[in-house]
Amino acid sequence: MIIIRSMGKENLSYIALGSNKGDRFQNLSDALHEIRQDRNNSIVNISSIYETLPYGYKDQPNFYNAAAQIKTTHGLIELLDLLKSIEKKIGRVDTIRWGPRVIDLDILFYNNIIFSNERITVPHKEVAKRDFVLIPLNEIAPDYYHPALNQKISDICIVESEKTVIGKIQQKLI
């Protein structure tokens, strides 16, 4: 087993945020507040919020999605554990796959590593298939290279049938 530790080093990570239960805007805002409250993190950039159709399981309310760029001294697994604890604190409970959720926080990228174990895969294996991830990510990191695909975020395309973004909402996070 490979353990990725930061040893106090500052790491760059991109996080996807999503919510479709309760006050979707407040849930995203609360998640960012919790990320920022951790002394090992700083938020560098936050995308606009996009309202999106559900992905996977369709019989549920629309989502609000956004992306955040953070700097962290947490190692990859430590960051994953932090995000899972934030989800739980905000009220996420496990349900059906791709089902409704108060908050969803996914690590999209962590530095430029390619890593997978039983708990996490980075880059997130679905980044290039989901417009609700790519569009907010493209807003804050169009020139970032997907380390597995060796393509800039701005150059990754989504086929028409997989588009779920309805539009950008006017309310701004933080």
Domains annotated for the chain, with CATH where assigned, are 11-168 (3.30.70.560)
For residue 19, give the nearest of 28, 29, 11, 10 by alpha carbon. Answer: 28
Q: Write down the pTM of the prediction.
A: 0.91
| Active-site position among 24, 30, 106, 131 | 106
| 81 tagged catalytic | no
Q: What are 48-84's pLDDT values in tens digits?
A: 999 999 987 778 899 999 999 999 999 999 999 999 9
Q: Is 101 a catalytic residue?
A: yes
Which parts of 40-174 fold into alpha helices (H)?
76-90, 131-140
Amino acid at 2: I
- Give 147: exposed, middle or buried? Use CB within 10 Å, 0-12, 13-18, 19+: middle
Q: How many angstroms separate the CA atoms of 109 and 91, rounded?
A: 24
Q: What is the pLDDT of residues 100-129, one digit of tens each?
A: 899 999 999 999 999 999 999 999 998 998
Lowest mean pLDDT segment, chosen from 10-19, 33-42, 152-161: 152-161
Annotation says 59 is catalytic: no
**Is residue 106 annotated as a catalytic residue, yes or no?**
yes
